[in-house]
Amino acid sequence: MSSHRHAPRDCPVCGDRLALTRLSCGECGTELSGAFGSCDFCALGDEDREILRVFLSSRGNMKDVERHLGVSYPTARSRFDALLGRLGVHPSRDDEPPAPKERDADRLAVLEALARGEVDIDAAAEAL
pLDDT at 13: 93
In a domain? residue 11:
no
What's the domain range around 121?
A: 100-128
- What pTM does this model have? 0.49
In a domain? residue 32:
yes
Single out the residue of 3, 16, 15, 7 nearest to residue 41, CA to CA: 7
Q: Provide the strand spans (E) within the chain.
A: 20-24, 31-36
* Residues 121 and 69 occupy one common structural domain: no
Handedness of CA 121, 123, 126, 128 (dihedral sign): negative
* Residues 87 and 36 occupy one common structural domain: yes
> What are the pLDDT digits (tens) for 8-58?
778 889 989 888 889 899 999 999 999 888 777 877 888 888 889 989 998
> What are the pLDDT digits (tens) for 110-123?
777 778 888 788 77
In the chain, the number of structural domains is: 2
Q: Is the pLDDT of residue 2 over 50?
A: no
Check which CATH number belongs to the domain holding 40 and give it.
Answer: 1.10.10.10
pLDDT band at 94 (very low <50, low <70, confident <90, very high): low
* Residues 50 and 82 occupy one common structural domain: yes
